Amino acid sequence: MLYGLRYGRASSLKWLISMAVSFLESMFVTQPLKVLGFAAFFALVLKRVEDEEEPVAPLPGCLSSPGPSALFRARRNSRKDVYQPPLAADFEKMKTTHLKEQKAFALIREILAYLGFLWMLLLVAYGQRDPNAYHFNRHLEHSFTQGFSAVLGFQEFFTWANTTLVSNLYSHHSGFITDGNSKLVGSAQIRQVRVREGSCPLAPQLRASLDGCRAPYSMDVEDLSDYGEGWNASALNNSNRFSQAWQYQSQSQRRGYPIWGKLTVYPGGGYVVPLGTDRQSTSRFLETVQSQNWKGSPSSAFSAW
């Protein structure tokens, strides 16, 4: 526990949660399944029908040996049958046992096939992972989040974007980021989600002193409208090269996925500004959207990549 605190509170909590989930999974899923599997194997496969010794009824008068040459004078009583056919109950019992054995073998085959599939899946997922991937990911995270904690407003965001983001996103080697190892595919994007105007009720006594009211972000109050430059709904123009920055793009259109932030879950859609493929064009795009007040007051969250 004390050793884990060296990695910080967030990493320690993730480690504890992972350990708790693994323990509960082992207690309530893995171990009960193993017990049931072994119980079924021993009960249905290894168990054999015990040989029941059938009592042999004496055959009175079957053989007679009055003299020393009894072997030659022995006779058989043909009215008595030595071998009798099995009872119907014994047949049903043997049939039931055989069916149980077949089901047990089928269950064992399914379990072995599932374990084989699980082993191959884990091998593909974790077998080829580079041991330096964790350190590489930490290095990228530290590079791009440097100074991000000081972002409290839109002006600080554009300061961070023009310094930390641009300097780490583009390297002197074309097509790579600043570490020289990661390939930059396509261009980076800045995306924001907004809250609708008037999304929360405002008391009449406060309307004169407050300029509108906006509820905390949720998918119910997310703004899905299209605008023109400067968030002007009446100035909608699709001919401008920056027009898509003011138009909402859904999660399916972007082929995105939700992001779990510190406050809530943000969908994969929003208002997107594609940046350039080099340092100069990206700086020019950031200057343009900053001058046109792209980060307006209803903005609730943004991400860059």
- Kindly report, residue by residue over 269-283, the tens digit of the pLDDT: 888 888 878 888 888
- Kindly report, residue by residue over 77-102, the tens digit of the pLDDT: 445 555 677 788 888 888 888 898 88
Q: Could you tell me if residue 65 is inside a domain?
A: no
Helices (H), the chain: 9-25, 31-41, 70-73, 88-126, 133-144, 154-160, 166-169, 251-254, 279-291
Whether the predicted pLDDT of 171 surpasses 60: yes
Q: Where are the strands (E) in 134-238, listed by range?
A: 189-194
pLDDT band at residue 237 using 50, 70 and 90 as cut-offs = low
Identify whether residues 170 and 217 lie together within a single domain: yes
Q: Could you tell me if residue 9 is inside a domain?
A: yes
Token couple for 238 = 């699709």
Structural domains in the chain (count): 2
Domain boundary among 104, 126, 148: 126
Whether the predicted pLDDT of 54 surpasses 60: no
Token couple for 73 = 């004078």
Token couple for 228 = 């023109």
pLDDT band at residue 260 using 50, 70 and 90 as cut-offs = confident
Q: Is 274 helix (H, G, I), strand (E, B) or coil?
A: strand
Q: How many CB atoms lie within 10 A of CB 234?
A: 6
Largest CA distance in the chain: 135
Q: Could you tell me if residue 134 is inside a domain?
A: no
pTM, entire model: 0.54
Token couple for 34 = 């193993």
Tell whether the torsion through CA atoms of 238, 247, 252 and 259 is positive or negative: positive
Identify whether residues 156 and 39 lie together within a single domain: no
Identify whether residues 172 and 223 lie together within a single domain: yes
Q: How many CA atoms lie within 13 A of 248 on its CB side?
A: 17
Identify whether residues 147 and 283 lie together within a single domain: yes
Identify whether residues 111 and 183 lie together within a single domain: no
Three-class SS string for 279-303?
A: HHHHHHHHHHHHHCCCCCCCEEEEE
Identify whether residues 149 and 115 lie together within a single domain: no
pLDDT value of position 49: 46
Identify whether residues 22 and 96 lie together within a single domain: yes
- Kindly report, residue by residue over 176-227, the tens digit of the pLDDT: 787 777 777 777 888 888 888 777 777 777 767 776 677 778 888 888 888 8
- Kindly report, residue by residue over 108-157, the tens digit of the pLDDT: 988 999 988 989 888 887 777 777 878 888 888 888 888 878 777 778 88
Domain boundary among 79, 96, 126: 126
pLDDT value of position 78: 46
Q: Could you tell me if residue 133 is inside a domain?
A: no
Q: Which domain holds residue 20?
A: 4-50+71-126
Q: Could you tell me if residue 63 is inside a domain?
A: no
What mean pLDDT is reported for the chain?
76
Q: Could you tell me if residue 60 is inside a domain?
A: no
Q: Could you tell me if residue 61 is inside a domain?
A: no
Identify whether residues 149 and 288 lie together within a single domain: yes
Q: Is 168 helix (H, G, I), strand (E, B) or coil?
A: helix
Q: Could you tell me if residue 56 is inside a domain?
A: no
Identify whether residues 83 and 190 lie together within a single domain: no
pLDDT value of position 161: 86
Identify whether residues 84 and 230 lie together within a single domain: no
- The average pLDDT across 247-255 equals 87
Identify whether residues 230 and 154 lie together within a single domain: yes
Identify whether residues 110 and 197 lie together within a single domain: no
pLDDT value of position 71: 46
